[in-house]
Amino acid sequence: LSAFGGRSGEPQTSGSATAFSRTVGDRTLTFELTDLGITDVETGSVWNLVGIAVSGELEGTQLAPVIHASHFWFAWAVFKPETEVRESIEALTP
């Protein structure tokens, strides 16, 4: 999704990515996509695409951005051929 809406005001698909720390204070949050949007399991707060809680217990809280880079797969694979590709979030858990 893109943080910037199209003409209809609805989010658009985007090729960009943003990363945030999921730690707030002494809590580590777990996020899921719900009917309300991006929601953390621990407090039920709803987060926007720029890392700000827009409702719930953590409303107004800003997640800390994480330095990252978005790469095209073909470029990444040349430099990191040992990378494992997982097809689902379930495949990430042991």
* pLDDT tens sequence across 16-67: 778 999 999 999 999 998 888 899 999 999 999 899 999 999 999 999 999 9
Dump the DSSP string for 55-78: ESTTTT-BPPB-------HHHHHH
Global pTM value: 0.65
- Cα gap 55→90, rounded to integer Å: 28
3 state DSSP class of 31: strand
Residue 6's pLDDT band, with cuts at 50, 70 and 90, is low
Q: In one letter, which amino acid is 88? A: S
Residue 5 has pLDDT above 90, yes or no: no
Among candidate residues 65, 53, 57, the one with its CA nearest the CA of residue 19: 65
- Residue recorded with tokens 């777990």: 30
Residue 10 has pLDDT above 70, yes or no: no
Q: In the structure encoding, which two tokens stand for residue 70, read together?
A: 């978005």
Contact 23, 7 (CB under 8 A): no
3 state DSSP class of 76: helix
Domain ranges of the chain: 23-92
